[in-house]
Structure 1
Amino acid sequence: MAYRFLGNSGFKVSEITYGNWLTHGSQVENDVATKCVHAALDAGITTFDTADVYANGAAESVLGEALKGVRRESLEIFTKVYFPVGPKGPNDTGLSRKHIFEGIDASLRRLGTDYVDLYQAHRYDVETPLEETIAAFGDIVRQGKALYIGVSEWDADQLRRGQSLARENGFSIVSNQPQYSALWRVIEKDVVPTSKKLGISQIVWSPIAQGVLTGKYLPGQPLPEGSRATDDKGGDKMISRYLEDKTLTRVQKLAPIAADLGITMAQLAVAWVLANDNVAAALVGASRPEQIAENVKASEVVLDAEVLGKIDDALAGSIVTDPKLTRSPDARL
């Protein structure tokens, strides 16, 4: 397993990071989730990403239980705050000082740890003054409850303003967690160049486009039974944008490219995001332990310019690049 620095910090993370969105506490049983975590550890993954909103806290609890007995100092544990949790009262959401302070304490209890390595703003909060949010994160760091601060799906302007305030408060934002794949490239025009200037890395989610880039969804064919596209707990909604026949037909053109390299299409997809030097880690999930070992092999793959060009040509017409699609929810009230 290769490691990369997170932003301009001295903090290293495994470039393949295990994420438990849509799996732990909801899509798969707890014993299977635990096996997936152990498979990740066996494969050399030491970095784990979750959030308080995943299965309304259950994902954090399952991850905490699965990691019991593992040396804490040998792990990098990430979680997030923003979306509604608990009974979803008026202060159970957002990035207010109240919600951030209550959120970190609840996450630490569920994870069974005294601190998280990275605490992330899961989205930008248009209802809370950014000064309040950043000051609260600074206090969380000074209290030792989080070692580093990151964000998720912030646009370039939000990153600039957030980093400026963070530095005034004595810390830095080290990471952003956007969606990024060979099909979804909305961060490339604005977010990535801005992040490089600010010393911020990307921890990207959905590098295989919800499973579409594995090639298992075929144009004109029924959806595979038990796949994410048939999951009515949330997975089907996220993957629907990729299921048009024209996109699935283009994805199949990646098969010979992967075959020529002696790798799977999933490994090709993960290696593609890791080819971006602003990406510190690719988040991968799993509903079966054997999926982990396959995805981890992407850490060994280096794609040259010729291969990257072939991928662009194969997917041309289905690649989404509009930077305006990097956005957070509108005002809730």
Structure 2
Amino acid sequence: MQYRRLGKSGLQVSAFSFGSWVTFAKQVDIAPAKDMMAAAYDAGINFFDNAEGYEQGRSELVMGQAIEELGWSRDSFAVSSKVFWGGPKPTQRGLSAKHVTDACHAALKRLRVEYLDLYFCHRPDVDTPIEETVRAMHHLIAQGKVLYWGTSEWSAQQITEAHAVAARWGLTPPTMEQPQYNLFEREKVEGDYAPLYDTFGLGTTIWSPLASGLLTGKYSDGIPQDARANLPGYEWLRDKFTSDEGRARIAKVRDLAAVATRLEMPIHHLALAWCLTNPRVSTVILGASRLSQLTDNLAALDRVGDLTPEVLAEIDGILGNRPPAPQRF
């Protein structure tokens, strides 16, 4: 395993991390979850990602039970939660000081830990002043219940505002952002956030590196029966794959697969390794519904060096979506 600093912080996170979105408590119960987490840990993964919104907290219950039964030393791994979608009542959602605090306490109980290493604002909240959210996160850090806080899918402007609030009032600023990033989704990480890496030392814990399975190639001949797009509640994903844009992306996946074949690797290894060629990526969150899938994805780490500048340029030529270099004044 390789390790990277989480932005400018001193925390070293594994290049690949393991997350539970869609899988834990939906496709995976405690036994296979425990097996996969053990395999990930043994492979050197030290960051495990979760959220209150994953299966209404049940994903955290599964992960917490697995952590307790595996008996890992608490100083050998990092675990996260995210706050935003907690429940149907007004006080159970969003980023108010109350919900940020209540959600943290609930996550600690479900995950069976005394503190969260990483705590994310799962989405921006237009109904709550950013200052209120920053203060709530600062207070949790001061109480030792959270070590690092961050954002997920915030704009560069919103992150900048959070830093300005923190600087003005002597509060703890966000350390990291969790954006979607893959061969098809590049604008935020490579474009919008470009000024933030040097200015604030922003770290990134990227999700959906395989574009919800599109970059495995399994959708190239239609949607398989056992695919994520056929799960209840994921009709939006099916519609996305069958749209005009989805079909255009599938055609590009076939072209990318030809590059991967020439390099003697499966396309999903190329997609995962490509994410790690970006030095602004602190960690790539892997998801898996079975142990063999996780083990296979981990093997992509050995192929990063095969993506030479020439290969990366060829990939850019196929995709045609590389954001322009940020202007410097």
The two structures have a TM-score, normalised by structure 1, of 0.90
- Kindly state the Cα deviation for residue 239 of structure 1 after the two structures are TM-superposed: 5.6
Kept after mapping to 2: 8 A contact 1:138/1:169: no
Is 1:306 aligned to residue 307 of structure 2?
no
Is 1:258 aligned to residue 249 of structure 2?
no
Gaps of 5+ in 2: 325-329
1:152-301 correspondence runs (5 A)? 152-167=152-167, 168-187=169-188, 188-218=190-220, 221-234=221-234, 236-238=235-237, 240-243=239-242, 244-300=246-302, 301=304
- Kindly state the Cα deviation for residue 176 of structure 1 after the two structures are TM-superposed: 0.4
Aligned residues: percent identity?
Answer: 38
Q: 1:267 to 1:238 in 2, by over 3 A?
A: same
More helix by share: 2
Greater Cα offset, 46-55 or 246-255: 246-255
CA separation in 1, counterparts of 2:254 and 2:198? 33
What is the SS of the residue equivalent to 1:91? helix
- Kindly state the Cα deviation for residue 46 of structure 1 after the two structures are TM-superposed: 1.4
Q: CA RMSD in A?
A: 1.8
What is the SS of the residue equivalent to 1:209? coil
CA separation in 2, counterparts of 1:27 and 1:52? 17
What is the SS of the residue equivalent to 1:8? coil
1:102-117 correspondence runs (5 A)? 102-117=102-117
Runs of 4+ in 1 over 6 A off after TM superposition: none
Q: Match for 2:181: what amino acid?
A: Y
Equivalent position of 1:331 in the other structure:
none
Equivalent position of 2:319 in the other structure:
315
Q: Match for 1:67: what amino acid?
A: I
Is 1:135 aligned to residue 157 of structure 2?
no
Greater Cα offset, 33-42 or 123-132: 33-42
CA separation in 1, counterparts of 2:238 and 2:274? 19
CA separation in 2, counterparts of 1:239 and 1:141? 40
What is the SS of the residue equivalent to 2:48? strand
Q: 1:280 to 1:259 in 2, by over 3 A?
A: same
CA separation in 2, counterparts of 1:290 and 1:259? 21
Q: Match for 2:172: what amino acid?
A: F
- Kindly state the Cα deviation for residue 19 of structure 1 after the two structures are TM-superposed: 0.9
Q: Match for 1:132: what amino acid?
A: E
Q: How many residues align?
A: 315
CA separation in 2, counterparts of 1:158 and 1:36? 36
Greater RCO, CA 8 A, separation 6+: 1
Q: Match for 1:3: what amino acid?
A: Y
Gaps of 5+ in 1: 323-333
Kept after mapping to 2: 8 A contact 1:213/1:269: yes
1:5-24 correspondence runs (5 A)? 5-24=5-24
The two structures have a TM-score, normalised by structure 2, of 0.91
The CA deviation string for residues 130-172 of structure 1, in whole angstroms up to 9 with x for no partner, is: 1111001000000000111111011010011111223443423
CA separation in 1, counterparts of 2:310 and 2:238? 29
Equivalent position of 2:33 in the other structure:
33
Q: 1:179 to 1:240 in 2, by over 3 A?
A: farther
Q: 1:5 to 1:54 in 2, by over 3 A?
A: same
The CA deviation string for residues 163-192 of structure 1, in whole angstroms up to 9 with x for no partner, is: 122344342311000111111112122223
